[in-house]
Chains A and B, each alone.
Chain A
């Protein structure tokens, strides 16, 4: 098969080049239609229980998309500040995507009257005297729907909550962001204004993604070109691998658009990853071509190409296959972006492999030899260094292995400190404006994250209302929850107002009739739209909405599971069928990240073990091949724990990718070492020869991968920055493992698959 491909390459080089160009143009056709997906919900499997529950809640009670604006002033009740809040409220209401805006200047308050109660605005006239301000403060403090939600508990900040309805609108996040920013710039000073909310976060994700794509890809390409120019000192050596990389990226991204995959923060990594990985096969082909040309300058070009391809086919095929397995192991991940990344990177590397065995030989056949060439394979300084390196590690192999083992044990203890965090707000540095705004809202207005529980039954039944109330009390006792609101709060307030504002009536009405009467009275003087967020039209479904000020993944997951457990034990799931909201979503996402990480890591290690064991026909070979990788994985997670790098959507992918890339070094080393040992049986010389031949190639390959991934450290997203940092760290770890731990281990245990059975005896 390979032989036929080589012959076809040599017979029809122009056709192959033209076909590669045509394929690239056809695949690139769809790229302009690429879509960014900044929504956290898109990171989850769409058939998941929590996603379905979230959709159901949004359909029934309106979207939980909201923007909270915080206004900080020396005196928020001063006429100037209140007028400003009123004007801001009116301006935000004008936005087409805004469903309802609530602030202290328009929030309804239930007031007791001689005939029962009526619904009025909290502030009908601006308070001008100290006594009126004090009275207003008392009314706010008594109202659970306002205190800590629209006014901070220290009365230093006032909030405006805009509930959004984005259904049927396009590009809403940008529009919402622009409008809120315009309002902020218009009204800021002397008051301070902060804003937070999912639409603003999504828009910021989109903006950072666009900026990252514009930055990471070009700088990655520049670094790759410079590396290739330095490595080969020729246009052929620089341009051909560059073309392969570009064609592979166009193919992969085009395929991504064609199959309808939108680009999330995770898929954004694909082009940069391909820059780092896809050129390795073509670099090997060109290196070998130049080396063989130097060995035999008068050789026929066709024979030269036949020779290099026959040399490279087995190790390159095997290393390509293991890289593929590393990526494909991500298919076992539960999260769609991780699955997509695995599959698309596997496609990208496969196409790069195919181009390296078709396009590059075809181009080499047609191109003249370069004017000047760097003698790849005889770089004296590297040669001498690797020689000394080999001698040192063979001489001190036992103490070195003990030190390595101790080091790995110490570093890996950091694993216990790993923090899982999938909160989208953690995408940015703590100093970022969006994160600061979020912190202000979290501290003063009960948080911008929510947990919502669906209650189904007879909402007017006091017994059922008591169940809802007990759930609210449970939620408010949770450390992360600041306030839990439901229709019960409003009914209690109506009951109290109806009974002359007596505190002893701040309880759930006693009968169905009373509840029905209060709701009817409310509809006469108030706006029933105020109830829409808590009950449906038929009073058959209600929403309990709790605000969460700690949206860390661990806290969110605990809150989600504890709430579900409380419902199962005390209330029954028939009346409270679903728990959803942003906080549970973040919590469940973090659980999926950890589960997916363990699953894909285990799968990739087992798959690599099997492939290497089959390739070398030895289980020991399989075991030895996974030792450097496992050590690197342990160190990687240990470093993450010690340095406080969180395990998130991006960093959770590293171990599988690292194994896919890192195994290449082990395979190349094992192949060459076996060859060298069997030449003369001199172990030390075999180690040195392996290091100075294949070892050099491994170093060049690792340097190219490391440089390719370094560019990720320019990202505006913290997870991508740390992904870049950690992958560089782990590739260096794999390189170190393959060039030090592996030779010392092989020399120490002298396995039969390398030394042969007789040598061992």
Chain B
């Protein structure tokens, strides 16, 4: 067995264990969310304004999740479609990732790495 095969096999095993842990974490998170939602009365809590307050109170977390999503999608655009990462990332931040993907597909494709020196 080559070292690459060995590497793949061991990695798969470790990832399987990691996946199990991750699934357990997600399950725990869902349980907490379901419990919380069970107590949460949308109308009684003030409807949309309650949702607005919740978002405002957790704005930093929402923003960081959004930035990470933009980073990952810009990464996909860079590696899969060979487009400019920086442009993709900031377009994603300003115009949301789906619009960015549609726009970026129309831009120039790079087959080899291009030096972007300003």
A-side residues, CB < 8 A to B, are 11-15, 17-19, 21-22, 25-26, 29, 32, 214-215, 217-219, 221-222, 225-226, 229-230, 233-235, 238-239, 242, 293-294, 297, 367-375, 378-380
CB contacts (< 8 Å) of B114 on chain A: these are: 371-373
Q: Mark B75-91, 1 if CB is under 8 A from A, else 0.
A: 10011001111100100
Partner of A12, one of B3, B89, B110: B3
A222 and B7 form a contact (CB under 8 A): no
Q: How far is the CA of A635 from the CA of B64 in the complex (A)?
A: 36
Q: Which of B3, B58, B115 has the most CB of A within 10 A?
A: B115
A233 and B85 form a contact (CB under 8 A): yes
Q: How far is the CA of A369 from the CA of B117 in the complex (A)?
A: 17
Q: How far is the CB of A251 from chain B (nearest CB, A)?
A: 15
B63 and A374 form a contact (CB under 8 A): no
Partner of A214, one of B6, B60, B113: B60
A372 and B113 form a contact (CB under 8 A): yes
CB contacts (< 8 Å) of A378 on chain B: these are: 117
B71 and A373 form a contact (CB under 8 A): no
CB contacts (< 8 Å) of A372 on chain B: these are: 78, 84-86, 110, 113-116
CB contacts (< 8 Å) of B74 on chain A: these are: 235
B113 and A225 form a contact (CB under 8 A): no
Pairs of residues from A and B, 8 with the lowest C-beta to C-beta distance, nearest first:
A235-B75, A14-B11, A18-B14, A218-B64, A218-B60, A375-B117, A18-B11, A371-B110
Total A-B Cβ pairs within 8 A: 127
CB contacts (< 8 Å) of B72 on chain A: these are: 239
Q: Taking A371-B114, A379-B118 as given, write out 19 further A-B residue pairs in contact, using a Cβ cutoff of 8 Å, ordered by the A residue number.
A: A12-B7, A17-B11, A21-B15, A214-B60, A215-B60, A219-B60, A221-B68, A229-B71, A230-B86, A235-B78, A238-B89, A239-B75, A293-B113, A297-B113, A369-B112, A370-B85, A372-B113, A372-B114, A374-B117
Q: How far is the CA of A235 from the CA of B113 in the complex (A)?
A: 13
Q: Mark B3-40, 1 if CB is under 8 A from A, else 0.
A: 10011101110110110011001001000000000000
Partner of A11, one of B3, B71, B82, B84: B3
Tell me, yes or no, whether B61 is within 8 Å of chain A by CB. Answer: yes
A15 and B10 form a contact (CB under 8 A): yes
Q: How far is the CB of A295 from chain B (nearest CB, A)?
A: 12
A221 and B15 form a contact (CB under 8 A): no
Q: How far is the CB of B63 from chain A (nearest CB, A)?
A: 6
Q: How far is the CA of A222 from the CA of B63 in the complex (A)?
A: 8
B71 and A234 form a contact (CB under 8 A): no
Q: How far is the CB of B26 from chain A (nearest CB, A)?
A: 12
Q: How far is the CA of A529 from the CA of B73 in the complex (A)?
A: 68
CB contacts (< 8 Å) of A32 on chain B: these are: 28
B14 and A370 form a contact (CB under 8 A): no
Q: How far is the CA of A702 from the CA of B3 in the complex (A)?
A: 40
CB contacts (< 8 Å) of B83 on chain A: these are: 371
CB contacts (< 8 Å) of B78 on chain A: these are: 234-235, 370-372
Q: Which residue of A lies closest to B61 (CB)?
A: A218
Partner of B116, one of A13, A226, A229, A233: A233
Q: Which residue of B lies closest to A294 (CB)?
A: B115
Q: How far is the CB of B19 from chain A (nearest CB, A)?
A: 9
Q: How far is the CB of B107 from chain A (nearest CB, A)?
A: 11
B86 and A12 form a contact (CB under 8 A): no
CB contacts (< 8 Å) of B6 on chain A: these are: 12
B115 and A225 form a contact (CB under 8 A): no
Q: Which of B15, B85, B116 has the most CB of A within 10 A?
A: B85
CB contacts (< 8 Å) of B113 on chain A: these are: 293, 297, 369-373
B11 and A15 form a contact (CB under 8 A): yes
CB contacts (< 8 Å) of B89 on chain A: these are: 229, 238
CB contacts (< 8 Å) of B112 on chain A: these are: 369
Q: How far is the CB of A380 from chain B (nearest CB, A)?
A: 8
CB contacts (< 8 Å) of A368 on chain B: these are: 79
25 contacts between A and B (CB under 8 A): A14-B10, A15-B11, A15-B14, A18-B12, A18-B14, A22-B18, A214-B60, A218-B60, A219-B60, A221-B67, A222-B67, A225-B67, A225-B68, A225-B71, A235-B85, A371-B78, A371-B110, A372-B84, A372-B114, A372-B116, A373-B114, A373-B115, A373-B116, A375-B115, A379-B118
Q: How far is the CA of A226 from the CA of B86 in the complex (A)?
A: 10
CB contacts (< 8 Å) of B68 on chain A: these are: 221, 225
Q: Mark B37-74, 1 if CB is under 8 A from A, else 0.
A: 00000000000000000000010110110011001101
CB contacts (< 8 Å) of A367 on chain B: these are: 79
Q: How far is the CA of A22 from the CA of B18 in the complex (A)?
A: 5
Q: Which residue of B lies closest to A226 (CB)?
A: B67
Q: How far is the CA of A15 from the CA of B7 in the complex (A)?
A: 6
CB contacts (< 8 Å) of B25 on chain A: these are: 25
Q: How far is the CB of A90 from chain B (nearest CB, A)?
A: 31
Q: How far is the CA of A12 from the CA of B7 in the complex (A)?
A: 5
Q: How far is the CA of A375 from the CA of B17 in the complex (A)?
A: 40
CB contacts (< 8 Å) of A369 on chain B: these are: 112-113
B71 and A238 form a contact (CB under 8 A): yes
Q: Which residue of B lies closest to A10 (CB)?
A: B3
CB contacts (< 8 Å) of B84 on chain A: these are: 371-372
Q: How far is the CB of A333 from chain B (nearest CB, A)?
A: 31
Partner of B82, one of A18, A29, A229, A371: A371
Q: How far is the CA of A368 from the CA of B116 in the complex (A)?
A: 17
Q: How far is the CA of A106 from the CA of B26 in the complex (A)?
A: 55
Q: Mark B100-118, 1 if CB is under 8 A from A, else 0.
A: 0000000000101111111
CB contacts (< 8 Å) of A217 on chain B: these are: 60
A379 and B117 form a contact (CB under 8 A): yes
Q: How far is the CB of B28 from chain A (nearest CB, A)?
A: 8
Q: How far is the CB of B100 from chain A (nearest CB, A)?
A: 14
Partner of A22, one of B3, B7, B17, B75: B17
B67 and A14 form a contact (CB under 8 A): no
A15-B14, A18-B18, A214-B60 known; A233-B86 Cβ under 8 A: yes
Q: How far is the CA of A11 from the CA of B18 in the complex (A)?
A: 21
Q: Which of A18, A25, A32, A230 has the most CB of B within 10 A?
A: A18
CB contacts (< 8 Å) of B82 on chain A: these are: 371
